Structures are given as structure tokens and as C-alpha cells.
Structure 1
Amino acid sequence: MQIVLILSLVAAAIGSGLVAGIFFAFSTFIMTAFSRIPVEQAIAAMNSINVTIVRSPFMGLFVPTAILCLVIAVLAVIDWRSGASLLMLAGAALYVLASFISTIVFNVPMNDALAKVSGGGTEATALWTTYLRDWTWWNHVRTIASLLASVAFVRALMIL
């Protein structure tokens, strides 16, 4: 059981850290770059990313890390280890709720709405302005949550 727990924590720390890095890139420069180009080009670029990402290796990282976090939460409860289990539960909750579920509840519906718009008319401009602000805000949440999950998993490993 100990080796399964250690390997799970290492994989979850790496997975959530990599996801945090991807989200960090969007929060710190990709969305800013999109805000500086014409709306029609920004929408086309973001729509292209949204189509590409669901068929990319990112999904092979994002979804399995969420599943692994659920396994870690179960292991934390089954084999309670005080501080380590609390950190394991915190990391799992941060990743699953604030990174994975928030993506499904907030970012994906915004992506779906953006996919229905093209061009640079007033409707597209208004949607893009709202999208850019709201999508980026939720991306900041995902970035921070994924990073804190990674830190919690590393810290749990240190005190096991």
C-alpha cells in the first residue's frame, strides 16, 4: 500500500504541476497576446486552441490526474496519517474541484459559446470582451488551484 501511495502522490504532484504550468501560460501571456490582436483573429485562434486541446496529450494528463486525485483522497481516508492525509485531501480537493470541475462548469461553456461566433462584428466583440475577462479569471483560479494541489502532494510526500 505504501508504494502505491507514494507513486500516486508523485504522479499527482507532477500531473497537477504540469497542468498548472499550462494554465499559467494562458494566464500570463497567451490571453494577453490575444487581447492585443483584432477580435476576429483572437476568436479564431482561441477556437482553434479549444478544438486542438481536446485531441491533444493535454487531455491524457488533465483527466487522469483528476482520477488519480480521487484515488488519493480514498487512500487518505482508508489509511489515515494525520497531517499527510489532510494534505492529500486538500490537494485532491483543490485539483478536482477548483481545477477540473471549474473547467467543466465555467471554462467549457464559455468555449462552447465562443465556438458559435465568428467574425468581428459588434456581437463578436461584445462576447470576446466578456469571454476574455471571465475565462481568464477562471483560468487564474485553475492555475492557482493546480499549483497548490501540486504543493500539497509534495508536502504530503515529505511527511509520510
Structure 2
Amino acid sequence: MTWVDILTTVAVLGCGLVAGAFMPFSSFVVRTLRELSPDEGMRTMQSINRTILRSSFLLVFLVTTLVALVLGIVAVLEWRAGSPWLLAGALVYLVGVFVVTIVFNVPRNNALDAASARTPDGQRLWADYLQGWVAWNHVRTAAACLATVFFALALAV
């Protein structure tokens, strides 16, 4: 097993863990938050967003991003049989998970953190958050799943 195989295995595991963290939000967490009062739902999501920044998830998310970047570079510089899958996995993860998170989900999280559901603006923000945030979370979930498959295919080649 080469160092590229080891990194690819780490990528498979990391992408799978990230997908496994995102999927519940797309599947049932946000739906549950919608059933709560705006104040309860908003405070719960604010707490989740603060907690995730201090959790092992953030480490997995960032390490997987770094590993995907390295594998994408290796795929281009040392082209071999599995390189198309490595490059596809890297691009899908970096764009569909990392960039989407930074550009679409994090700004919404930051705006939510600064808001209060007890104000009309806060209630509007919460309603918009439930629509926009979860739509982009669907994208991140699908991208993390697809990247997992691509990295696994790179190992299989």
C-alpha cells in the first residue's frame, strides 16, 4: 500500500463521515427544528452551530479537505490509472463540500448567530435560513457521498 493509497483511504473515511454528519440535517434535523417555535428552533440551531466548531467534526472536515486537495494535486502531477477518480473525488469534495460550506452555509450560520427570534427581522431570517441553508446542505451531502464513491473507485482501480 502506497502513501497515496493510505491518503485515499483516509479520504474515503473522511468523506463518509462528513456525509454522515450532513445527511441527518437534510433528512430530519431541520424538519424537527421547523416543528419548534421560531425561538426554540433558532436557539437550538445556534447551539448546534457553536458546538460543531468545538467538536471533532471540524477536525474531520478540515483534514478531509486537506487530503482531498493533496490527492487532487497528486492526481494531476502523477497521472496513473486511478487519477481520474482521485481528481473527480477531490474536485467534488473541494467544490461541493468545502466551497459550498464557506460560501453558502457559514454566512447563514453567522447571520443566524447574531440574530434573535424575538424580533421580526430574526423571524424572517429564521424562515429564510430553513429554506436556503438546508438546500445547500443537500448539495454538501450529495457531494460528500459522491466524493466517497469516487475515492473508493480510485482505490479499486
Instruction: Give the TM-score band, short-chain normalised.
Output: over 0.9
CA RMSD of aligned residues (A): 1.0
Amino acid in the other structure paired with 2:84: L
Query: Normalising by structure 1, what TM-score?
Result: 0.95
The within-5 A match list for 1:18-97 is 18-82=17-81, 84-97=82-95
The 10-residue stretch of structure 1 (102-111 or 72-81) with the greater mean CA deviation from structure 2: 72-81
8 Å Cα contact 2:117/2:126 also seen in 1: no
Q: Which runs of 4+ in 1 moved over 6 A?
A: none
Structure 1 residue runs without a partner (length 5+): none
SS at match of 2:2: helix
Which residue number corresponds to residue 148 of structure 2? Answer: 150
Which residue number corresponds to residue 108 of structure 2? Answer: 110
> 1:38 Cα shift?
0.3
**Size of the alignment, in residue pairs?**
157
Structure 2 residue runs without a partner (length 5+): none
Distance in 2 (alpha carbons) for counterparts of 1:60 and 1:114:
23
The 10-residue stretch of structure 1 (111-120 or 67-76) with the greater mean CA deviation from structure 2: 111-120
Deviations 1:63-110 (A, max 9, x none): 01000001101111222114x111100100111111011101110000
Distance in 2 (alpha carbons) for counterparts of 1:78 and 1:116:
44
> 1:15 Cα shift?
0.1
Distance in 2 (alpha carbons) for counterparts of 1:38 and 1:116:
18
Query: Normalising by structure 2, what TM-score?
Result: 0.97
